[in-house]
């Protein structure tokens, strides 16, 4: 059954909006703004909208531009899996076509059509997406894990002796950028300036354009180098793919991949670490070995998806979604954050979702995130290694002092200050090792790595279990075997 409201955009010239049309009544039971003071608590607002309107609700974006937000889990999946009814090409969006969305609209970077696979559909989407996924398929996952391990070790070395760190700016924002610069084939471009530039470009501050130019210059240099002399990296495979991408297309896809990976994975790392540090249930489960780090990451993807919404999908024809009548040209927000907490799939939000990966964090359908394995690997290996090395890590501020910066698209933790007993640096080419703690302290048992004390020199070490590979610790009566296990472990860590 569809609701009686006509097009959300109310642009039917013959009928005009009927009384009670939600697009024309602000406030309870009507349409709500999802920007400005009304939207300080977006999570709470989505729940009110769900109560008032059900799984698909009318909302207003900046400048009161109308949109639907999809709140139901099933309805979100239906949206992204129905390419015959919905497209990501904003050029058919009625408010855009009718000039309601001004060129300086704050969401224009998300809305404006670009020649990239995210906005393409049909044959063109297939051509571009095939080039991206084929290039991704050539990435050697063992060497990616090696890069993640080395960079995690390097970042932790940067603050381990100080006994204090701020994990958003010193860890979560750096690790994905460092790894992605390696994957794309420009490890020399990874530095503080590159991380700052990406952060600044995405925040949309007054220096965003210069920062964006800084990143694009690096990507242009990389494209030119690999066009002349391809190597074995993501960029070279993108360039040489039979889809025949132009230099502009290559650059735009490198930008898409770099920014999508950086922003989403930085959020995921910060969210997962925050959860581990502040939620006693999590801590207890990790300590007791009932939950592994990959399972904790998956729970974080349910509870705080790194992209809360994706702007947007647009109706190609008159249709129906969640009992709502959707008109051709209407815009819809794909919304993992409210979709993941739909009471029809999660009647009890405190219940663990262990073993269930059907969250919406990576989207679905033809545009489903092709980089999810890399995002998960960065989070799994990075969090596991950090908790292994800083096994006594604690939040260094009252939990209530943590602050988030929210936009329609995502919610970023501003800072995550932590403290721990100062620890020595470690060799970045070796697996992370726990350092013995004073006896009164209880260390982390993160489930995938042992926190047993290990000597600094790996001559006769007690081998920690490699991340995610359950393995019995050898007894001290087996020295020869212990060396073999250590060797194998080091080889595994190095991706050899």
Out of 80, 107, 276, 321, name the contact with ligand HEM by CB under 6 A.
Answer: 80
Check whether the bond before 176 is cis (ω within 30° of 0): no
Rounded Cα gap, residues 92 and 371, in angstroms: 28
30 vs 364, beta carbon nearer ligand HEM: 364
Q: Would you say 316 or 488 has its CB closer to ligand HEM? A: 316
Q: Which of residues 118-177 bind ligand HEM (CB under 6 A)?
A: 118, 129, 132
Q: Are 198 and 176 in contact (CB under 8 A)?
A: no
Please identify, among the stretches 106-114, 147-155, 187-195, 363-371, the one whose residues bind ligand HEM according to the rule CB under 6 A.
Answer: 363-371
Secondary structure of residue 321 in the 3-state scheme: strand
Q: Could you give the CA distance from residue 236 to residue 240 in angstroms, rounded to a whole number?
A: 6
Q: Estimate to the nearest angstrom the gap between the alpha carbon of 291 and the chain centroid.
A: 21
Q: Which residue is nearest to ligand HEM (CB)?
A: 371
Among 171, 307, 444, 493, binds ligand HEM (CB under 6 A): 307
If the CB atoms of residues 370 and 461 are measured against ligand HEM, the closer one turns out to be: 370
CB of 215 to ligand HEM, least distance (A): 15
CB closer to ligand HEM, 268 vs 449? 268
Interaction of residue 185 with ligand HEM, rule CB under 6 A:
no
Q: 265 vs 451, which CB is nearer to ligand HEM?
A: 265
* Binding of residue 86 to ligand HEM (CB under 6 A): no
As a whole number of angstroms, the distance between CA 60 and CA 69 comes to 9
Asked if residue 152 lies in contact with residue 175, where contact means CB atoms within 8 angstroms, the answer is yes
Q: Of 24-32, 206-214, 272-280, 302-310, which part binds ligand HEM (CB under 6 A)?
A: 302-310
DSSP3 helix / strand / coil % (the chain, rounded to 5): 45, 10, 45
Cα radius of gyration rounded to whole Å, the chain: 24
What is the C-alpha to C-alpha distance for residues 5 and 20, in angstroms, rounded to an integer? 8
Q: Which is nearer to ligand HEM, 168 or 454 (CB)?
A: 168
Piece in contact with ligand HEM (CB under 6 A), picked from 18-26, 218-226, 277-285, 305-313: 305-313
Could you tell me how many residues of this chain bind ligand HEM (CB under 6 A)?
A: 26
Tokens of 186: 């420009």
Confirm or reject binding of residue 367 to ligand HEM (CB under 6 A). yes
Nearer to ligand HEM, 118 or 451 (CB): 118
Contact between 327 and ligand HEM per CB under 6 A: no
**From candidates 215, 268, 296, 416, binder to ligand HEM by CB under 6 A:** 268
- Helix (H) or strand (E) holding 259, with range, is helix 247-278
CB closer to ligand HEM, 93 vs 307: 307
Handedness of CA 332, 334, 340, 346 (dihedral sign): positive
Shortest distance in whole angstroms from residue 383 CB to ligand HEM: 12
Sole binder of ligand HEM in the list 65, 71, 101, 260 (CB under 6 A): 260
Determine the Cα–Cα distance for residues 183 and 383; give it in Å rounded to an integer.
20
* Identified binder of ligand HEM from the candidate list 310, 321, 333, 416, rule CB under 6 A: 310
Asked whether position 362 contacts ligand HEM by CB under 6 A, the answer is: yes
Residue 37 DSSP SS3:
helix
Contact map string, positions 368 to 397, toward ligand HEM, x by CB under 6 A: -xxxx-xx----------------------
In 3-65, where does DSSP find H-type helix?
A: 42-53
Interface residue with ligand HEM, options 39, 186, 202, 257 (CB under 6 A): 257
CA dihedral in degrees (309, 311, 316, 322; nearest 10)?
A: 20
Q: Taking the complex as a whole, how short is the minimal distance between the CB of residue 258 and ligand HEM, in angstroms? A: 8
Report the C-alpha gap between 6 and 21 in whole angstroms: 7
If one counts every other C-beta atom within 10 angstroms of the C-beta of residue 51, the result is 12
Helix 174-184 and helix 141-159, axial crossing angle in degrees, nearest 10: 140
**Cα separation, 423 vs 420, whole angstroms:** 8
Residues in contact with ligand HEM by the rule CB under 6 A: 80, 117-118, 129, 132, 256-257, 260-261, 264-265, 268, 306-307, 310, 334, 361-363, 367, 369-372, 374-375
């Amino acid at each position: 059954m569809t609701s009686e409201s006509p097009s959300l955009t109310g642009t039917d010239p013959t009928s005009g909006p009927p009384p009670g049309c939600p697009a024309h009544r602000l406030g309870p039971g009507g349409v709500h703004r999802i920007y400005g003071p009304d939207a300080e608590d977006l999570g709470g607002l989505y729940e009110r909208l769900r109560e008032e309107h059900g799984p698909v609700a009318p909302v207003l974006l900046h400048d009161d531009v109308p949109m639907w937000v999809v709140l139901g889990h099933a309805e979100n999946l239906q949206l992204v899996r129905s390419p015959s009814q919905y497209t990501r090409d904003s050029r058919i969006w009625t408010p855009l076509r009718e000039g309601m969305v001004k060129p300086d609209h704050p969401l224009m970077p998300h809305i404006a059509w670009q020649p990239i696979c995210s906005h393409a559909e049909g044959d063109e989407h297939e051509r571009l997406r095939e080039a991206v996924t084929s290039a991704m398929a050539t990435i050697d996952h063992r060497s990616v894990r090696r890069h993640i391990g080395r960079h995690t070790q390097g970042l932790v070395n940067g603050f381990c002796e100080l006994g204090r760190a701020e994990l958003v700016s010193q860890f979560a924002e750096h690790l994905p950028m460092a790894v992605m610069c390696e994957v794309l084939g420009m490890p020399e471009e990874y530095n503080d300036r590159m991380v700052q530039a990406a952060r600044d470009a995405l925040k949309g501050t007054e220096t965003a354009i210069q920062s964006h130019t800084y990143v694009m210059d690096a990507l242009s240099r990389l494209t030119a180098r690999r066009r002349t002399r391809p190597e074995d990296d993501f960029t070279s495979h993108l360039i040489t793919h039979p889809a025949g991408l132009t230099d502009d297309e290559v650059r735009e896809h490198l930008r898409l991949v770099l920014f999508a990976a950086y922003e989403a994975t930085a959020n995921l790392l910060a969210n997962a670490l925050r959860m581990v540090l502040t939620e006693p249930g999590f801590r207890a489960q990790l300590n007791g070995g009932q939950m592994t780090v990959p399972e904790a990451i998956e729970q974080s993807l349910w509870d705080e998806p790194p992209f809360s919404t994706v702007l947007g999908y647009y109706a190609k024809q008159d249709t129906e979604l969640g009992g709502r009548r959707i008109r051709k040209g209407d815009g819809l927000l794909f919304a993992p954050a409210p979709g993941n907490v739909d009471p029809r799939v999660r009647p009890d939000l405190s219940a663990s979702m262990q073993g269930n990966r059907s969250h919406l964090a990576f989207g679905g359908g033809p545009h489903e995130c092709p980089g999810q394995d890399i995002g998960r690997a960065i989070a799994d290996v990075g969090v596991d290694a950090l908790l292994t090395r800083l096994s006594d890590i604690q939040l260094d501020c009252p939990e209530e002092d943590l602050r988030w910066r929210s936009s329609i698209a995502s919610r970023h933790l501003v800072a995550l200050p932590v403290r721990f007993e100062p620890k020595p640096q470690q060799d970045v080419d070796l697996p992370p090792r726990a350092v013995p703690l004073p006896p009164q302290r209880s260390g982390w048992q993160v489930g995938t790595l042992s926190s047993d004390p290990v000597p600094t020199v790996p001559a006769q070490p007690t081998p920690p279990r490699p991340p995610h590979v359950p393995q019995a610790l050898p007894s001290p009566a087996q020295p020869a075997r212990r060396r073999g296990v250590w060797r194998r472990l080091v080889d595994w860590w190095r991706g050899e």
